[in-house]
Copies of this chain bind each other. A is one copy, B any other.
């Protein structure tokens, strides 16, 4: 076997939890001549985009848009709602929980952390207890889906706790979740939800979003942490006039207008159902070939983290998938490195992407000597698809 064949066909597959495949319509919507962000046509398109984002976030409030990756909106959330020395609670169950902690520390906010073993979810009761003991806590930071582990956190339940505290914000990183699984901002009383373009929104990376509740906006008014580029009040003032505070990433906004149209055409409910179906098929397939899931209790709609079989290096699985089958998935990060691989089913993805991914995993594991009956994974996935359609 020679994993790098220079003469192979150049057909690439992508099932990573971001960036996700971009539909051709969206790619082409970004390939027209550039337009100016003060031109009436841009302002009209931005108006449509604002409505589309409210639909996806399920809120009546404005959703802010930044030219940055998702981390920029996470930083902006911290610096626009808090003050130096504020005490906050961070749910740390993976790499992105740690990011909330890192941002807080960088800006002089004092994070208390609830550590959750990677792959596990958090107990809302623990958050209730902590808030009960310390009502000074200004915000609870969490993930809806922790991208590094595929675990889903009980956002609705946590928010039910947090929303009882008028002095505490419920902040959710929805980056690998929003648009693939329920996260209704208004109904669940979420105060801040942040997102990025390269996930369920089916765009290239480069845009970040933040939706804020009225409660969150009242925090913004009092916040004294330093900010400039990620200044929420300035962006709010501009976006309500269909403008942006700084030159926006115009081509990505044009792509977003297109992808939001596709999302509205399919409908959030149908999209959530599709993602749930893809997730069930993937998990059923992995179990059928004897593999275990990294987050068995709370698998996300958007991705499935799978434990590498004993004795097989997860990084090697990822490498063979990429070099031999030209399929890019994600490996494990930090403490999960080598232990897992992550198969996403997120965004512009459907039945046959899952079947392809399962088949590629089967062929890779065979090559690595893992013993199982070939075909059982794909069969299990197909059975899910046949039942549910």
Q: Which A residues are closer than 8 A to B by beta carbons?
A: 1, 7-14, 16, 18-25, 27-28, 30-39, 66-72, 75, 102-103, 106-108, 196, 198, 204-206, 225-231, 246-252, 262, 265-267, 270-271, 274, 322, 324-325, 327-328, 330, 348, 350-352, 355-356, 359-360, 362-363, 366-367, 374-376, 378-380, 382-383, 385-386, 389
Contacts and interface: CB of A to CB of B under 8 A. Distances in A.
A36 B328 contact: yes
A177 B14 CA distance: 30
For A1, A102, A247, which residue has the most chain B Cβ atoms within 10 angstroms?
A: A247
B10 A262 contact: yes
A294 B72 CA distance: 37
Contacts of A380: 375
Contacts of A1: 389
A106 B33 contact: no
- Most central of A30, A31, A206, A355 by chain B CB within 10 Å: A206
Contacts of A274: 9
B351 A366 contact: no
Contacts of A16: 36
Nearest to A206: B249
13 contacts: A7-B265, A22-B34, A27-B33, A67-B69, A69-B229, A70-B247, A72-B72, A107-B228, A198-B247, A352-B356, A352-B360, A367-B386, A378-B379
B8 A247 contact: no
A370 to B, nearest CB: 13
B102 A228 contact: yes
A279 to B, nearest CB: 15
A25 B32 contact: yes
